[in-house]
């Protein structure tokens, strides 16, 4: 399900009117609830936990937050890649950059809330 959401996000670039060069996927688990956030911007290094850096569907994808089987590096110790650290030194650029994010909340495996940018409701199915 995670790969499908990421692919749908990347394919929805025509909806956003911009290219997706990098995106982050942030996963958070609290009790029986999974929070999934996908955004086409650089992460906030001060508050996000790095898990994995890979390429999915031709786009560099950073996984943040909780570890999920198949989407984390066992040797990872929350060290962001050096190029991401360098880019984050210019916080002003990051704050001024427009980006799109999709947000999903699952409770006991059932989607209970989603927030998708643009007309993406039909694109995420």
DSSP per-residue codes, 27-75? EEEETTEEEEEEESS---TTT--EEEEEEETTEEEEEEES--TTSS-TT
Please report, rounded to a whole number, the percentage of residues in the chain having pLDDT higher than 70. Answer: 80
Give the chain's end-to-end CA distance (angstroms, integer): 10
Provide the pLDDT for residue 122. 44
**In the structure, what pLDDT confidence band is assigned to residue 68 with cuts at 50, 70 and 90?**
confident
pTM, entire model = 0.81
């Amino acid at each position: 399900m995670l790969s499908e959401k990421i692919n749908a996000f990347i394919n929805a670039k025509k909806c956003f009117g911009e290219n997706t060069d990098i995106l982050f996927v942030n996963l958070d688990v609290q009790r029986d609830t999974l929070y999934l956030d996908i955004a086409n911007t650089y992460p906030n290094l001060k508050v996000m936990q790095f898990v994995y850096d890979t390429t999915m569907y031709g786009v560099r994808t950073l996984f943040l937050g909780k570890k999920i089987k198949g989407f984390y590096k066992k040797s990872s110790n929350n060290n962001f890649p050096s190029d991401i650290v360098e880019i984050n030194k210019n916080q002003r650029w990051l704050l001024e950059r427009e980006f799109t994010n999709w947000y999903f909340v699952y409770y006991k495996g059932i989607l209970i809330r989603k927030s998708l940018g643009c007309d993406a409701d039909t694109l995420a199915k």
